[in-house]
Structure 1
Amino acid sequence: MKPVVRSASQTVRTGALERGPEPKQDRSVRTRQLVLLRAAECFAEKGFADTSVLDVAERAGMTKGAVYHHFPSKEVLAIAVVEEHYARWPVLLAKTRTKELSPFGTVVDLLDGVAEAFHRDPIVQAGARLQLERSLIGAPLPAPYVGWTQLITDLLGEAQEAGELREGVTPEEAARLVVASFFGMQHISDVLHGRADMPQRWAELRELVLFSIRA
């Protein structure tokens, strides 16, 4: 299967934006991760335009200078959050693969994990919001949904070969429907309920959409 869920280093090109130094000491690494987490919380709650570096610094309990040491601008900070968002998925896929499930079971288990991440992980939530606000960020971001559609297509293709797909279901069409339904669902859950109802909405979608294509 083609590796379509990209690593963080493959997802974002920052062009002329200056990146902060790569941390080498454990304390510096922990500080950088704390800044990223607090920035993600701010971006997820308020969006890119209404979040300032001072907001991030205050939430992290440090000075603006300390934030700027790791991230020279708000744009670079936002890009780093998006990179962390995309870095979650190869890890989740690898974890699912260790369970040695059937192809269709892999799709279900993987999306269970993604739904949980959107429900609880500020990095994932912020990355999704920043993708929607991509026009405000002064650097290109990866095209959303494309990697997910290809991955689910590949998995459903394996499911079809294993006799797990309902007759007449095309992996490509089913993947587009599943991805559109899932990401539309999480967005509506965010807008209306701050994703508090994600588990319930995902359970409905899984039963009515995902399981409807199973043999």
Structure 2
Amino acid sequence: MRRLGMTDIAERGSTGQANEGIKELKQERAIRTRTRILNAAAEAFASKGFPAVTILDVAELTGMTKGAVYFHYTNKEALAVAVIEEFDSRFPVVAKTVSALGLAPVAAVAELLTRTAIAFRDDTMMRAGARLQIERGLIRAALPLPYAKYTEIIYGWLKTAAEEDGLKPGTSPEALARVLVSAFFGAQHISWVLNDRADITERTLEVIRAVIPCGEGALLACPSIPDRGNAA
């Protein structure tokens, strides 16, 4: 058996590196393709709803074949699950941007609600996720529990506010978080049905003022609140 020389080892090393490079390129290409498909699915679900959407609709939006879509997602249900999971993952991201502002807890809640409202208005993935949550009974697949993460985030800030005497005495942070989430998601749904979410920030401001005790003054610290100068 011939011993490997330095040249052989170098050539094998170069080949291995080349193969790894090709593998990474393929993985990156696959990720980009899946993202294109997911964004197209979100557009279709947001505009037509789960029952009316077909894999062909998604394929046409991406400029791909149905077979290419099926290669990455086995059926329409898998696409819906992926869109809802992406929708669900956006809430902690929005909360992180709010946390970075260093606002007082009640102001942070108001800012989170407002930024979420803007995302519902402007982000197709958010609009698709909201619609699919309503249609979840039609989707034959296991789906993430809706609104749980969002409620937990708001509860965390309200709990801190209560500990710092930032809420009215006797206010339950847990109950208030549940009421806020119910009121906010109800408001965004009504805004969608009546006005295609054009007035969602105004409706969110109404929720904040009506539901959060001591929340009026906190609005002045929220950069995303419309007409902050007139909030108080």
TM-score, length-normalised on structure 2?
0.76
CA contact (8 A) 1:166 1:213 kept: no
> What CA distance in whole angstroms lies between the structure 2 residues aligned with 1:191 and 1:137?
21
Which of 142, 165, 187 aligns to 2:144? It is 142
> Which amino acid counterpart does residue 199 of structure 1 have in structure 2?
T
> Which residues in structure 2 correspond to 1:91-170 (within 5 Å)?
91-170=93-172
Q: 1:202 to 1:214 in 2, by over 3 A?
A: closer
Structure 2 residue aligned with 1:26: 28
Residue 35 in 1 paired to residue 24 in 2?
no
CA contact (8 A) 1:81 1:123 kept: yes
CA deviation map 1:54-75 (0-9, x unaligned): 1111112221112112111111
Structure 1 residue aligned with 2:87: 85
Structure 2 residue aligned with 1:66: 68
* Residue 211 of structure 1, CA deviation: 5.5
Between Structure 1 and Structure 2, the one with more helix by share is 2
Percent identical across equivalent pairs?
Answer: 47
CA contact (8 A) 2:121 2:200 kept: yes
Aligned length: 193
* Residue 150 of structure 1, CA deviation: 2.8
Deviation larger for 199-208 or 51-60:
199-208
SS at match of 2:197: coil
* Residue 158 of structure 1, CA deviation: 0.4
CA contact (8 A) 1:149 1:179 kept: yes
* Residue 122 of structure 1, CA deviation: 1.2
CA contact (8 A) 2:106 2:215 kept: no
CA contact (8 A) 1:174 1:213 kept: no
> Which residues in structure 2 correspond to 1:203-214 (within 5 Å)?
203-210=205-212
* Residue 100 of structure 1, CA deviation: 1.7
Unaligned runs of 5+ in 1: 1-22
Q: 1:73 to 1:43 in 2, by over 3 A?
A: same
CA contact (8 A) 2:107 2:215 kept: no
> Which amino acid counterpart does residue 107 of structure 1 have in structure 2?
V
SS at match of 2:89: helix
CA contact (8 A) 1:166 1:214 kept: no
Q: Cα RMSD (Å) of the superposition?
A: 1.9
CA contact (8 A) 1:117 1:124 kept: yes
Structure 2 residue aligned with 1:3: none
CA deviation map 1:72-117 (0-9, x unaligned): 1111011000110011122222222222222112212211221111
TM-score, length-normalised on structure 1?
0.82
Residue 183 in 1 paired to residue 213 in 2?
no
CA contact (8 A) 2:85 2:144 kept: no
CA contact (8 A) 2:166 2:214 kept: no
CA contact (8 A) 1:182 1:205 kept: yes
Q: Which has the higher contact order (CA 8 A, sep 6+)?
A: 1
Which of 201, 207, 212 aligns to 2:203? It is 201
Which of 65, 75, 78 aligns to 2:77? It is 75
> What CA distance in whole angstroms lies between the structure 1 residues aligned with 2:47 and 2:189?
13
CA contact (8 A) 1:189 1:198 kept: yes
Deviation larger for 205-214 or 24-33:
205-214
Bigger radius of gyration: 2
